[in-house]
Chain A
């Protein structure tokens, strides 16, 4: 039986032993650092980590410094899943051959990637690693944009967001495509545990991370990572924006076990209108012009429909 690390309150949680240093180059107010800290703080186990090229990587391991007090590897943009899968394979081989340096210590394997690295360029590598069933957890730091390179659209960018390669303009409301549903895709891989989390709901998040880490096989966490720079809000509002994301049900918090058993893990007492979430961010500012009102209306309809669908799936247990 795995014993989970117990955390009483947020203060204790935020000050517990840190394997991800505050000394990093991420923007003030970046949710990435909050999420990564929460993942690393959720366990006392040894960790073998990887990161895809992106904000997290370029801001945490700039020679001769590193923010990581656990073994960490970055290869390229697309292969963070495979990097950790390779390390996991080596762990299994050395365990079988009795050549582990500290055989009594059982590590967890975790890969981090942004939505660009995960939804787009690294999608095949994640799919391969999950099909093979490596004992690992993949965490998407989902800020819905290629933030590291200055705000280009990814397949996670939602409709109506203005990104540098899908800018809003005189005749365009910005991004035209719906956000890719990675949760459904990863559940369809038969992953034993897939969950969506928000750093603003830290207890829900820690619980899910612990479950992901303690579940054998490839598990998947999609974390909403509000990006102060590209979503265009004040750095001190990161958690407030994350709260708006979950309370408007744009980012519903739920988990899918063994590919079918869906549980909604947070039901907002007061669901706020989607447009309040959108209005809080500069990337959606143009949607409030009269000519784009239909986009706002469609947003609410889409979110309502998805929430309805999630609830039905939860009831159906299939």
Chain B
């Protein structure tokens, strides 16, 4: 029996410690992991918990991220609670197995501390790895700070492990900006946290010898499509209601509110930015300033990237005149992925806001309040004119002459 840890009501934790503590409290049966910056401290913290008697599950330090997820898949199929953490190149190495995990409907929780993808090599935060996972059939939930990383990791088990869902879940946090930045994190006691997550209930466990199962079988043109369609159907129809239910329970327990999409001053906003991760928080500060100046500005924070909250976003932006999609990943030859997602929403709106696209923060480059103030200047002009007044896509805070694409002239 693992020892319980006494926590203060508020602990000074960074995002990595917050995630590691959530894993400890969820009493994971198997963690198979491989270290990579900036998610390494999640694995190190967990190893420390183990070394001090706070963990009674298995901790398997494997030889690569591919093996980490492979081990997680074998462990999860065997029938127990499984989690791991990774970033960037490690995430990229895992990609093959991410699809296999979700296709086998295994509710593994993966803490992704988001980091740029090489080349050039870079250890800092951006969303290239997050975007790489967006078609992998996983649920993707995004933290904006360390408190979120803790809360959402606990919620992730409840969501993914539900027998009506049975899908793996990524909990994203920004490399360094969240993972290595300490804040006061409100904690749950070990008992309260575990009771919220609940006991793991096996489903088609390989270790049930009375009912042998075959995992990861072959399907060709006769059955492959049906399996993929069913997975997509469950993502599209079952996951959002379950997430909302879990978020509601979490609110009852803690008073902390999470939504599929987090609106900030969106009730009467005319201009807004849509972002993911720590940039949401920076944008909120900019909006406070703008509000003081009488600008009806708002922020849309994407809490759940997959399944994409299409209808919730549509409702939230229906009164906007101008909106900007903030992409923290190089689109390498098109508009940003978030811009594309939002374009899918906007094309279905009767009275749609005009939308432009900013690419920011690659490889850990800062985005500041001042940058958002300038973006909102663009948005105000776009709102007033009823069309985009700049090139559709702008790169911000990058050296050299101003970089922009898709001129609207």
B343 within 8 A of A: no
Verify B216–A75 contact, CB threshold 8 A.
yes
A151–chain B nearest beta-carbon distance, Å: 20
| Number of residues on chain A facing chain B (CB within 8 A) | 48
Question: How many A-B contacts are there with CB distance less than 8 Å?
Answer: 169
Most buried by A among B74, B205, B208, B220: B74
B76: chain A residues at CB < 8 Å are 86, 90
If A78-B66, A102-B208 touch, whether A89 touches B58 (CB-CB below 8 Å) is yes
Taking CB atoms, residues of chain A closer than 8 Å to B63 are 124-125, 127-128, 131
Q: Most chain-A Cβ atoms within 10 A of its Cβ — which of B80, B214, B220?
A: B214
B62, A93: Cβ atoms under 8 Å?
Answer: no
Tell whether A82 is near chain B: CB-to-CB under 8 Å.
yes
Task: Tell yes or no: A307 within 8 A of B by CB.
Answer: no
**Is A141 in the interface zone, CB < 8 Å from B?**
no
Check B96 for interface membership: any CB of A closer than 8 A. yes
Contact of B217 among A71, A74, A105 (CB under 8 A): A74
Contact among B30, B100, B218 for A58, CB-based, below 8 A: B218
- Bound CA span A76–B202, Å: 23
Of B56, B96, B205, B215, the contact of A96 (CB 8 Å cutoff): B56
Give chain A residues whose Cβ lies under 8 Å from the Cβ of B192: none
Across-interface contacts of A101 in B (CB, < 8 A): 79, 202, 205, 207-210
- In the assembled complex, the CB of A48 is this many whole angstroms from the nearest CB of chain B, namely 6
In angstroms, Cα B202 to Cα A89, docked, is 16
Decide: B73 and A97 in contact? CB cutoff 8 A: no
A101 to B97, CA, bound (A): 27
Let me know if B72 is at the binding interface, CB within 8 A.
yes
Contact A124 B64 (CB under 8 A): yes
B218–A62 contact, CB under 8 A?
yes
Cross-chain contact A72 with B215 (CB below 8 angstroms):
yes
Q: Given that A79-B67, A86-B70, A93-B29 are known contacts, is A48 also in contact with B210, CB under 8 Å in the complex? A: no
Whether B333 sits at the interface, judged by CB under 8 Å, is no
* A65, B166: Cα distance in complex, Å: 22
Minimum Cβ distance to chain A for residue B290 (Å): 50
* B212 close to A68 (CB less than 8 A): yes
A79-B66, A93-B58, A97-B56 known; A86-B78 Cβ under 8 A: yes
Alpha-carbon gap, A97 to B202, bound state (A) = 14
Inter-subunit contact A94/B79 (CB<8 Å) = yes
Is A57 close to B, CB under 8 A? yes
A73 at the interface (CB under 8 A from B): yes
A107 contacts chain B at the CB level, 8 A cutoff: yes
Interchain CB contact under 8 A, B207 and A125:
no
Task: Please tell me if A170 contacts chain B, counting CB pairs below 8 Å.
Answer: no
Q: Is B396 an interface residue (CB 8 A)?
A: no
A143 and B126 CA atoms in complex are apart in Å by 46
Most chain B CB atoms below 10 A, which of A50, A72, A94: A94
Of all chain B residues, the one with the shortest Cβ separation from A78 is: B66
A interface: dominant SS: mixed
Q: Is the CB of B77 closer than 8 A to any CB of chain A?
A: yes
Say if the beta carbon of A70 comes within 8 Å of chain B: yes
Contacts of A72 in B (CB 8 A): 206, 212-215
Interface size on B, residues (CB 8 A): 46
User: Across the two chains, which residue of chain B brings its CB closest to A19?
Assistant: B212
Q: Hey, which chain B residues are within 8 Å of A79, CB to CB?
A: 66-67, 70, 97
Q: Are B217 and A87 in contact (CB under 8 A)?
A: no
Q: Which of A118-152 contact B (CB under 8 A)?
A: 124-125, 127-128, 131-132
Q: Which residues of B contact A92 (CB under 8 A)?
A: 58
Contact of B97 among A76, A87, A100, A132 (CB under 8 A): A76
User: Do B71 and A85 touch across chains, with their CB atoms under 8 A apart?
Assistant: yes
Is A8 an interface position by the 8 A CB rule? no
**Bound CA–CA A97/B72 (angstroms):** 18
Give min CB distance, B77 to chain A, whole Å.
Answer: 5
Question: CB < 8 Å: which of A64, A69, A100, A124 contacts B207?
Answer: A100
Give the most central of A73, A86, A128: most B CB within 10 Å: A86
Whether B32 sits at the interface, judged by CB under 8 Å, is yes
Residue of A nearest to B62 (CB): A128
Task: Name B's interface SS.
Answer: mixed
Which residues 36-70 of A have a CB within 8 angstroms of B? 46, 48, 50, 57-58, 61-64, 66, 68-70
Contact A69 B58 (CB under 8 A): no
B17 within 8 A of A: no
| Cβ B62 vs Cβ A102 within 8 A | no
Which residues of chain B come closer than 8 Å to A63, judged between CB atoms?
Answer: 217-219, 223, 227
In contact, B62 and A87 (Cβ under 8 angstroms): no
Say whether A57 contacts B218, CB under 8 Å. Answer: yes
B309 located at the interface, meaning its Cβ lies under 8 Å from any Cβ of chain A in the complex? no
| Residue numbers in B under 8 Å from A227 (CB-CB) | none
A91 CB-CB contact with B under 8 Å? yes
- In the complex, residue of chain B having the shortest beta-carbon distance to the beta carbon of A92: B58
Shortest distance in angstroms between B68's beta carbon and chain A's nearest beta carbon?
9
Which residues of chain B from 41 to 95 have a CB within 8 Å of any chain A CB?
56-58, 60-64, 66-67, 70-80, 82
**Are B97 and A75 closer than 8 Å at their CB atoms?**
yes
On whether the beta carbons of B212 and A75 are closer than 8 Å, the reply is no
Contacts of B66 in A (CB 8 A): 78-79, 125
Query: Cβ of A125 and Cβ of B210 under 8 Å apart?
Result: no
**B97 and A71 form a contact (CB under 8 A):** no
- CB atoms of A73 and B75 under 8 A apart: no
A152: shortest Cβ distance to chain B, in Å? 20
Neighbouring A residues of B220 by C-beta, 8 Å: 62
Known: A62-B218, A87-B75. A71 touches B67 (CB 8 A): no
Can you name the residue of chain B whose Cβ is closest to the Cβ of A45? B209
Residue among A96, A97, A100 with the most chain B CB within 10 A?
A: A97
- Within 8 Å CB of B70, what residues of A? 75-76, 79, 82-83, 86, 125
Which residue of the partner chain, among B61, B74, B208, B216, contacts A87 with CB atoms under 8 Å?
B74
Q: Cβ of A48: which chain B residues have Cβ within 8 Å of it?
A: 78, 206-207
Q: How far is the CB of B289 from chain A (nearest CB, A)?
A: 50
Other-chain residue from B60, B207, B218 in contact with A85 (beta carbon distance below 8 A): B60
Not counting A79-B66, A90-B75, A94-B78, a sample of 9 additional A-B residue pairs whose C-beta atoms are within 8 angstroms of each other reads A61-B216, A63-B227, A76-B96, A83-B71, A84-B74, A89-B75, A93-B29, A128-B62, A132-B62
Chain B residues proximal to chain A, CB less than 8 Å: 29-30, 32, 56-58, 60-64, 66-67, 70-80, 82, 96-97, 100, 202, 205-210, 212-220, 223, 227
CB-based closest 9 A-B pairs: A86-B74, A128-B63, A90-B78, A71-B206, A79-B70, A86-B71, A86-B75, A82-B70, A74-B216
14 CB contacts below 8 A, A to B, read A46-B209, A48-B206, A71-B208, A71-B212, A75-B100, A79-B67, A83-B77, A89-B30, A90-B80, A94-B78, A94-B207, A102-B210, A124-B67, A128-B62
